[in-house]
Amino acid sequence: MVYLDHAATTEVRPEVAADVAAELGVLGNPSSLHGHGRAARRSVEEARDRIAAAVGCTPHEVVLTGGGTESDNLAIKGLYWARHAQDPARRRIITSAVEHHAALDPAHWMAEHQGAVHELLPVDPLGRVDPAALREAIGRDPDSVALVSVMWANNEVGTVQPVAELAAVAAEYGVPFHTDAVQAIGAEPVDFAASGVGALTLTGHKIGGPVGSGALVLARGLVPVPVLHGGGQERDIRSGTLSAPLARGLATAVHLAVAEREEHTKHLSALRDELEERVRAAVPDVVVNGDPRRRLPGIAHLSFPGCEGDALLMLLDARGISCSTGSACSAGVAQPSHVLLAMGADTDAALSSLRLSLGRTSTREDVAALAEAIGPAVERARAALAKRRR
């Protein structure tokens, strides 16, 4: 079996599994005041310290959550409600057109149910947001903007955004800037303080950590309205009993991902380049999507003209190769990737793509297996589509 879907989720690292297992054997609620509770709290706070050190923030700025989706929802909904409560004129939520659905859907929901106005920033054919476009969008009516959210790096095509420049534009107008950095941790040099962003989302399972662990890093003075209400944990920003095992596992995963980043990205970049070269040799008209200069090292997003991505996925799966398409599926009907459409691709091209994402356990043997399988798979997919269209 060949796994080329590391952008979807990754194998839990042995060091992380060991830490989680060790903590699972410890009794105590981190909110309790007795000795057992204090021991659990100590483990949580040590984890918070390690996360903060790895991503360039203070421990006080780390709010532990259940993962990337929760963190995005807390940032977008919570900051909107807080800003709108202070000034009802602030109704605009500005996001890029290529955000993950964990950011797009909360913004859309706020527009449908909370009176917000959701605006999409355009991207160029490489998937990049131009800081001038953000300046123009905010500048039309600065006093009406509640927040801006632009991801650090795209989960489909891998394009890395000019986050520091975008955050600087938002800061000029006093607008909070949130970034989903789920794909960037361990692949890009992520420094919260240096970037100038106000809120940053990260998760564990993209970097060898446990599913169900994540964090929202919030700059001092930025306090969203809670999405979850209850016991007042995490400075009353995110209620719910804290999981010491998940916090410890997340911290270990983040620490290792950041510590090993330079060596890891060199390995992945070389492997990705070899993958693309070998696929191009087998399928000469393949199209590589994303920014060739500022792209995540482990993502190869490829369009195969005359094919359907879903058909290719299943043909490769039959050969024991796991990957993903950039499209979504609704009621059994494939929908074109909103990312590729925003980049200017037509519907056929947006439906003809595969995302092949490499990770820590990927090898040259994996690339060789794909190279052997991709040519025949494309031939079969093209023949099937041509027959259906006749």
pLDDT tens-digit readout, 360-389: 999 999 999 999 999 999 999 999 888 887
Place of tokens 């123009």: 136
Q: Residues with catalytic annotation?
A: 329
Residues 383 and 308: their CA atoms lie apart, in Å, by: 11
Q: Residue 26: pLDDT band by 50, 70, 90 thresholds?
A: very high
Question: Are 30 and 131 within one domain?
Answer: yes
Q: Are 257 and 213 in contact (CB under 8 A)?
A: no
pLDDT for residue 331: 42
Residues 152 and 155: their CA atoms lie apart, in Å, by: 9
The amino acid sitting at 320 is G
Question: Are 128 and 97 within one domain?
Answer: yes
Contacts of 19 (CB under 8 A, 6+ apart): 245, 248, 249, 252
Place of tokens 């890891």: 264
The amino acid sitting at 144 is S
Question: Are 381 and 232 within one domain?
Answer: no
Question: Are 210 and 293 within one domain?
Answer: no
pLDDT reading at 316 higher than 70: yes
Closest CA to 204 of 43, 16, 14, 1: 16
Question: Are 110 and 158 within one domain?
Answer: yes
For strands 145-149 and 92-96, give the pairing. Answer: parallel
Q: What are residue 147's DSSP bridge partners?
A: 93
Q: CA angle 186-100-119, nearest 5°? A: 130
pLDDT for residue 328: 57
* Residue span of the structural domain in which 115 resides: 14-259
Place of tokens 């804290």: 242
What total number of domains does the chain contain?
A: 2
**241: DSSP letter:** -
pLDDT for residue 327: 58
Q: Residue 93: pLDDT band by 50, 70, 90 thresholds?
A: very high
Q: Return the percentage of the chain with pLDDT > 90, whole number.
A: 95
pLDDT tens-digit readout, 172-185: 999 999 999 999 99
Q: CA angle 206-94-106, nearest 5°? A: 55
Residues 360 and 369: their CA atoms lie apart, in Å, by: 17
Question: Are 225 and 267 within one domain?
Answer: no
Mean pLDDT of the chain: 95
Question: Are 84 and 191 within one domain?
Answer: yes
87 dihedral zone (left: phi>0; alpha: psi -120 to 50; beta): beta
Q: Are 104 and 247 in contact (CB under 8 A)?
A: no
Which residue, of 259, 274, 296, is where some domain finishes? 259
Q: How many CB atoms lie within 10 A of CB 305?
A: 13
CATH number, residue 306: 3.90.1150.10
Residues 328 and 335: their CA atoms lie apart, in Å, by: 5
> Which tokens sit at 219?
């700059």
Question: Is 203 within a domain?
Answer: yes
Question: Are 276 and 188 within one domain?
Answer: no
Which residue, of 259, 283, 318, is where some domain finishes? 259
Residues 42 and 59: their CA atoms lie apart, in Å, by: 13
Question: Are 193 and 322 within one domain?
Answer: no
Question: Are 73 and 207 within one domain?
Answer: yes
pLDDT tens-digit readout, 326-368: 655 544 557 889 999 999 999 999 999 999 999 999 999 999 9
Residues 238 and 84: their CA atoms lie apart, in Å, by: 20
Q: Return the percentage of the chain with pLDDT > 70, whole number.
A: 98
Q: How many CB atoms lie within 10 A of CB 259?
A: 12
pLDDT reading at 37 higher than 50: yes
CATH number, residue 218: 3.40.640.10
Contacts of 385 (CB under 8 A, 6+ apart): 306, 307, 308, 311
Residues 350 and 157: their CA atoms lie apart, in Å, by: 12
Q: Residue 20: pLDDT band by 50, 70, 90 thresholds?
A: very high
Which residue, of 208, 230, 259, is where some domain finishes? 259
